[in-house]
Structure 1
Amino acid sequence: MLHNLDDKRHLQFWLLHTLGWIGFAVVHYLGSLVLEVRNAYFWVVMLDTFVGWLLTIPLRYIYQRAWYWHPLKMMLTVLLLATLVGVVWTIFKNHTYWEIYRHGFQPKSWSWVQLYLRNAQVSFYVILSWSGLYFGIKYYQTLQREKQKLLTATNRAHEAQLKMLRYQLNPHFLFNTLNAISTLVLTRENDTAEKMVTRLSDFLRYSLYKDPIKKVPLQQEISAARLYLEIEKVRFSERLKVTFEVSEDACQALVPSLILQPLIENAIKYAVATQVDGGHIAISAKKFGHDLLLEVADNGPGVPLDGGLPKSEHSGVGLVNTRERLAALYDHNFSLVLTHNEPQGLKVNIRIPYELDITE
């Protein structure tokens, strides 16, 4: 990557260097037309430009080293080199103009000195301008490179955070599931145990192999939720009742992977497991304008709320995890609100932008 970046900057230098001197030649020649010079002067301009193009190439390699020097030392070096190159360039330009274009004609001595000094001054400012442009462009490239490094580092940290949040599977779920499978094996309910192992395998494969950075269609999330709930249904049997209500246009909407799982897990933990008769979980999704609305509701005992947030830690880490993932993915363009369910229970509402996979 760094090699490609160096090649790109190298190509940019030669392109800008050449275009800059072409621009100088055009301006110089158009300015000479005011003096009504002969057409042959065009070749003088081209020759002077080519020599200027050649003389400034070594400056690039000197300035690359001077870039890391003390600012005062760097400025003095630039002024010295601009003077030196300007003098050499002026000598060449005077030679091509008086000896070639004017066929050896020279003005009086005093006029010659004045013309030479004026030409040297112009050459100095041209080389100084070239130097200023070089350092200006190099500073801009360095600034952009540092921004790119910062952006890359931020993205890497962002991805690491999302992966960490996504992979926080509840160990109690695995423990309870494996314990239930063990019980089924001891009671010789091998068919049920085999189905439970298969469902657990499918759920873990989905949860571990889905990229947490990429979003998936809601339909896949619903399938994963069904797998999870089928596993839990073996534990709770008839005590766990589930209903799904997902609109057709919401099925293909993109959502963060496993965004529903911690909410369903909380509902089972606090609304189903704590009640003798079990509980009911309702999962719904629909499109509303430019947003997708997701809802997980239960008929459990509920929790005390304060402005849409639980007053205690009774809701577990699932909501905190979900809120942090949504913030990392959508910045401020989302909402996660808790409300009381009627006649009892808790309702978790999520609003995120309605997005579709345009690559399909």
Structure 2
Amino acid sequence: MKTALLLLLLFLANSGSAETFVPYTPDSLKKGDWVEIESVHYYPYVAPGIEEKVPWRAENIRRVTFRATVTDLDERSLTLDYTFKNLYDCRNEAGKPGFHYFDSRYRQDFTFDHEMVGKQILRVTYDRDSRKAQTSDRQETAFSYSKSYVPFGVRQAGLSAYPGTAVRDSLPLDKLLAPAAHALLTGWQEDGMPRLTQDTRVIDASFALPPNTEFTCSHVNFDLSDDSTVHKKIFIAYPTEYKVGERVTLLLTPGDSITQDKERFAQTHIRHYQGRGSEQNNIQYSFRRFADIYDPNIRSLGPITPDQVKKAFQTRDSLFQIALEKDFKHLDPYWRKVFEHSERYFEGTFVLEFYMRATDKQAWQESGLLDWQAPYFASVNPLIDFAYSLQKPGAATYYYFLYAYSIYKRQEFKSDNLCLNKQRKLSPQEEYSLNKQLFSGFPKYIVTGSTLQQLMHNNMLSEIEEDYNDFIRSCPDTSLNNQIKRTYDKLLPFETGKNIRESGLMIADSLHLAEGSDRKYILLFLSAREQGLPAPSLQNALDFKKSLESEGLASIVQLELYSKFQSNNAQRVKPFKAISDLQIEELKQRGLGTMTILMREDGTILHRQFTGWEFDPKPALAIIQNDLKREDESFNDFLKGFKEGVLGTLLIVAIIGIVYYFRVRGKQKKERNRRRIRELELRAIRSQMNPHFIFNALSSIQNLINRSANQEANKYLIDFSRLLRKVLATSEKKLVPLSDELEQLQLYLKLEQLRFPFFYSLTVDKNIEPDAIEIPGMLIQPFVENAVKHGIAPRGTGEIIIRLSLQDQLLVIDIIDDGPGMETETESGFGIRAISNEFEILKDLYNTEIGITIENRQKKESVSGCHVRLSIPL
């Protein structure tokens, strides 16, 4: 009883800190706003493994998604265009061991008659007063498609669909959508959620939908001494993994309301939750009770017998079933299937990995563990099961299985193919292409994406350029594409022909590079391991030095090794250098970790490797020898040209070049001076903005002290110091990551909330990757500060909405307040005037124009306030 009372008090104490939701109404809609609608049809469920009542199952269901976008509005009417977004169809029949499956997101793997994605299906104009549909322009559109037959289980032949056994189907999109479209505005509830027809619902929108799930949890960061409690109310359309802080991932289902037992965590460091949705979270944080293999011999890297594996599986299955029946008997059916699938995929991965390591493969083949009819192979369907997969490290067994299966199939392909020697390594193109043939749908892109990332780290980008372009062009998953692009951009500065100076690494200043020298070489090895360089890696470095001496290259190849070293290696590491903590942090922030770079003495990169020092000296020595040979041949060609009279031609060209050089030199000098002046102007503007911002913040602290609000002033000072450090850290940078800018912005708004009890919301479209986008620093803050000054301060309360979206290769930032609006067009603070000047300089320097509009909301909306829109080309 005491625990329950404590949890209730904790919930009430924190409910005030949760974000306050302001319902969005049809009157709030503006041009460009959108709503996604899902129409669901449930087929009779005849497949084993899950009850029919689960609404978000992946089997025997058809989901059609449409998007409704506001394209026109005035005082009397509102027009929405409805477009088709996606169709998912998965159905099985009694007596058939498989599914008929279609997913329009993966159009390269499935066929349909016409390109329908993004096509307008319906246009409806509504009366804004009655909210009823006035006119409707409907196009009769039948979506015809072929569902491929996918057998149950994992097949030895691969996981791609069978193209020869397809079932034709069609769907009248216009008739399916029309009832929901006509009821969209009339069914809009006061809570901000449009209630549509049966089996149709709103799943996403460009604005915030009313929360349907809430949670309270504490100790969410790696610093466990920070016991701050997070209480949130959010909207989710499907069961999902939700990241809270740095170390907590919650498993949430729509309608969940869970609270963490903070007292138990403080005493035991074990997370335990109560309330609806608690069981799937309790089981995930208790997973290791049955997730580990308990036989100590299983954990070793030595040979393992099939009998040991069978015994370990029996123990594991027994512990898992006891946990489900005793401790988690009320587990939601969806999450029960998630964990049951995770178990099957874990066992399948385990069998494949240890079979590939085994020396006595005959014993494994006779054991039955590799039988494709075994439960861990026969009861899973990778093409469909990604709907039940967990991405949390340690639980992502679905993904581990796909990787293990792809490696197994590549090894099997090499051993069975008479054209390939068993010892021959597959080329990057062969490896990538083979995965494309093995898989289809989502599994194909997750595995080929993983393979492509490994290939990018182990090969020069030029070697896999064709595969990279193929993946970016064909993969429909934005998050996977962005991940691959980030890896590509991270490695691009270290390509052959690039210069280490251009990489921006601090270590480049320590290399004593020689200008114009390309007949000597530097082999640079960097290790970001904080626990010190392992002894085998150090030995490899020492062996490499010996190889240089034996090849007679020690005088022209300089080995530069930067790392932390273990104390027992103190005597052996004298030739090498200790890396600083700052340099380690730089490598980690850039995702580089450990790398080896071979370059000429002038910094020109010849080769690189982004793995540990498992370095075979022969390839590096061969690259050096070839480079020396190439240079010698070039020199001989020059001598030969001289003998044949080429020198005269070169002299003529040189004379022409000298004349041209002196003619354009003056223009270039003037252009350099002009750019330097503009850059100094830009730096001057930013140097003025920082003191201006600091002055405003200190004025807020002074206001709190004058009111004797010492506790609030102390909190303000702590947050202000964090914000100030971030601002100063980025003040000298031309561009900063969008994620840093948004973090600074939220810190600033929290500080201002100590002065005024206003509300704010910050939403970022799902297709935006804040870490991958860079913008000029302190770009958004002056406009938000202006909204506080003119929209919030005069009344002491109000609301600020900040929304980021992508529109036609533009990053669009909307800053909206509900204040009185601007009385004149010139009413703006110093920050906005400074930013306007900065825009002009950026346009002049980089030929990039940042668009800005500032207008009162009364002009287009029947509400007061100011609307600022920034448009940044990407």
Range into which the TM-score falls when normalised by the shorter chain: 0.5 to 0.7
Say which SS state the counterpart of residue 779 (structure 2) adopts.
Answer: coil
Q: Which of 679, 691, 701 is the equivalent residue of 1:159?
A: 679
- Tell me how far apart the structure 2 counterparts of residues 329 and 213 of structure 1 sit (CA, whole Å): 13
The amino acid of 2:798's aligned partner reads G
Q: For 1:141-290, what aligned pairs fall within 5 Å after superposition? A: 141-169=661-689, 174-182=694-702, 184-185=704-705, 189-236=709-756, 238=757, 240-250=758-768, 251-252=770-771, 253-274=773-794, 276-290=795-809
Is 1:319 aligned with 2:839? Answer: no
Q: Measured at CA, do residues 184 and 340 of structure 1 come closer, stay the same or move farther in structure 2, by a change above 3 Å?
A: closer
Say which SS state the counterpart of residue 736 (structure 2) adopts.
Answer: strand
Question: Partner residue of 1:97?
Answer: none
Question: Partner residue of 1:73?
Answer: none
Give how far 1:332 is off: 5.0
Question: Partner residue of 1:337?
Answer: 853
Q: Does the CA-based 8 Å contact 1:163-1:213 persist in structure 2?
A: no
- Tell me how far apart the structure 2 counterparts of residues 349 and 198 of structure 1 sit (CA, whole Å): 31
What TM-score does the superposition give when structure 2 sets the normalisation length? Answer: 0.25
Q: Does the CA-based 8 Å contact 1:162-1:212 persist in structure 2?
A: no
Give how far 1:245 is off: 1.2
- Tell me how far apart the structure 2 counterparts of residues 187 and 218 of structure 1 sit (CA, whole Å): 36
- Tell me how far apart the structure 1 counterparts of residues 853 and 766 of structure 2 sit (CA, whole Å): 24
Say which SS state the counterpart of residue 243 (structure 1) adopts.
Answer: strand
Say which SS state the counterpart of residue 297 (structure 1) adopts.
Answer: strand
- Tell me how far apart the structure 1 counterparts of residues 733 and 792 of structure 2 sit (CA, whole Å): 32
Give how far 1:162 is off: 1.6
- Tell me how far apart the structure 2 counterparts of residues 182 and 24 of structure 1 sit (CA, whole Å): 79
Q: For 1:112-123, what aligned pairs fall within 5 Å after superposition? A: none
The Cα offsets for residues 121-147 of structure 1, whole Å up to 9 and x where unpaired, read as xxxxx8xx9876554222223345444
Between the two proteins, the alignment pairs up a number of residues equal to 237
- Tell me how far apart the structure 1 counterparts of residues 715 and 702 of structure 2 sit (CA, whole Å): 13
Q: Does the CA-based 8 Å contact 2:790-2:822 persist in structure 1?
A: no
Give how far 1:348 is off: 0.6
Unaligned runs of 5+ in 1: 8-17, 28-48, 54-125, 305-310, 355-360
Question: Partner residue of 1:102?
Answer: none
Q: Measured at CA, do residues 277 and 188 of structure 1 come closer, stay the same or move farther in structure 2, by a change above 3 Å?
A: closer
- Tell me how far apart the structure 1 counterparts of residues 651 and 707 of structure 2 sit (CA, whole Å): 86
Question: Partner residue of 1:118?
Answer: none
Give how far 1:197 is off: 1.2
The amino acid of 1:26's aligned partner reads E
Q: Measured at CA, do residues 332 and 221 of structure 1 come closer, stay the same or move farther in structure 2, by a change above 3 Å?
A: closer
Q: Which of 26, 30, 40 is the equivalent residue of 2:644?
A: 26
Q: Measured at CA, do residues 157 and 6 of structure 1 come closer, stay the same or move farther in structure 2, by a change above 3 Å?
A: farther
The Cα offsets for residues 293-346 of structure 1, whole Å up to 9 and x where unpaired, read as 001111111125xxxxxx542123333322332333343533111233231111
Give how far 1:171 is off: 5.7
Question: Partner residue of 1:293?
Answer: 812
Q: Does the CA-based 8 Å contact 2:791-2:798 persist in structure 1?
A: yes
The Cα offsets for residues 266-318 of structure 1, whole Å up to 9 and x where unpaired, read as 111111112x34221111101123111001111111125xxxxxx54212333
Give how far 1:217 is off: 1.9
- Tell me how far apart the structure 2 counterparts of residues 202 and 301 of structure 1 sit (CA, whole Å): 32
The amino acid of 1:346's aligned partner reads C
Q: Does the CA-based 8 Å contact 2:842-2:848 persist in structure 1?
A: no
- Tell me how far apart the structure 1 counterparts of residues 796 and 660 of structure 2 sit (CA, whole Å): 68
The Cα offsets for residues 153-211 of structure 1, whole Å up to 9 and x where unpaired, read as 23322321221222333766544533443454566644422221122222222222314
Say which SS state the counterpart of residue 259 (structure 1) adopts.
Answer: coil
- Tell me how far apart the structure 1 counterparts of residues 644 and 751 of structure 2 sit (CA, whole Å): 78
Q: Does the CA-based 8 Å contact 1:162-1:213 persist in structure 2?
A: no
What TM-score does the superposition give when structure 1 sets the normalisation length? Answer: 0.55
Unaligned runs of 5+ in 2: 1-513, 518-635
Q: Measured at CA, do residues 130 and 314 of structure 1 come closer, stay the same or move farther in structure 2, by a change above 3 Å?
A: closer
Q: Does the CA-based 8 Å contact 1:292-1:353 persist in structure 2?
A: yes
The Cα offsets for residues 100-121 of structure 1, whole Å up to 9 and x where unpaired, read as xxxxxxxxxxxxxxxxxxxxxx
- Tell me how far apart the structure 1 counterparts of residues 734 and 654 of structure 2 sit (CA, whole Å): 42
* Residue identity (%): 28
- Tell me how far apart the structure 2 counterparts of residues 178 and 211 of structure 1 sit (CA, whole Å): 19
The Cα offsets for residues 3-48 of structure 1, whole Å up to 9 and x where unpaired, read as x9999xxxxxxxxxx9999668536xxxxxxxxxxxxxxxxxxxxx
Give how far 1:226 is off: 1.2
Which has more helix, going by share of residues? 1
Question: Partner residue of 2:243?
Answer: none
Which has more strand, going by share of residues? 2
- Tell me how far apart the structure 2 counterparts of residues 183 and 291 of structure 1 sit (CA, whole Å): 40
- Tell me how far apart the structure 2 counterparts of residues 5 and 173 of structure 1 sit (CA, whole Å): 43
- Tell me how far apart the structure 2 counterparts of residues 316 and 150 of structure 1 sit (CA, whole Å): 34
Q: Does the CA-based 8 Å contact 2:815-2:867 persist in structure 1?
A: yes
The amino acid of 2:827's aligned partner reads H
Q: Measured at CA, do residues 171 and 210 of structure 1 come closer, stay the same or move farther in structure 2, by a change above 3 Å?
A: closer
Q: Does the CA-based 8 Å contact 1:293-1:349 persist in structure 2?
A: yes
Say which SS state the counterpart of residue 249 (structure 1) adopts.
Answer: coil
User: Which deviates the most, 280-289 or 147-156?
Assistant: 147-156
Q: Does the CA-based 8 Å contact 1:167-1:208 persist in structure 2?
A: no
- Tell me how far apart the structure 2 counterparts of residues 227 and 337 of structure 1 sit (CA, whole Å): 25
The Cα offsets for residues 74-99 of structure 1, whole Å up to 9 and x where unpaired, read as xxxxxxxxxxxxxxxxxxxxxxxxxx
The amino acid of 1:217's aligned partner reads P
Q: Measured at CA, do residues 338 and 187 of structure 1 come closer, stay the same or move farther in structure 2, by a change above 3 Å?
A: closer
The amino acid of 2:842's aligned partner reads L
* CA-atom RMSD in angstroms: 3.6
Give how far 1:212 is off: 4.7
Q: Measured at CA, do residues 149 and 25 of structure 1 come closer, stay the same or move farther in structure 2, by a change above 3 Å?
A: same
- Tell me how far apart the structure 1 counterparts of residues 682 and 765 of structure 2 sit (CA, whole Å): 28
- Tell me how far apart the structure 2 counterparts of residues 245 and 221 of structure 1 sit (CA, whole Å): 14
The amino acid of 1:347's aligned partner reads H
Say which SS state the counterpart of residue 336 (structure 1) adopts.
Answer: strand
Q: Does the CA-based 8 Å contact 2:689-2:834 persist in structure 1?
A: no
Q: Does the CA-based 8 Å contact 2:848-2:873 persist in structure 1?
A: no
Q: Does the CA-based 8 Å contact 1:241-1:280 persist in structure 2?
A: yes
- Tell me how far apart the structure 1 counterparts of residues 698 and 650 of structure 2 sit (CA, whole Å): 73
Q: Does the CA-based 8 Å contact 1:302-1:346 persist in structure 2?
A: yes
Give how far 1:353 is off: 1.5
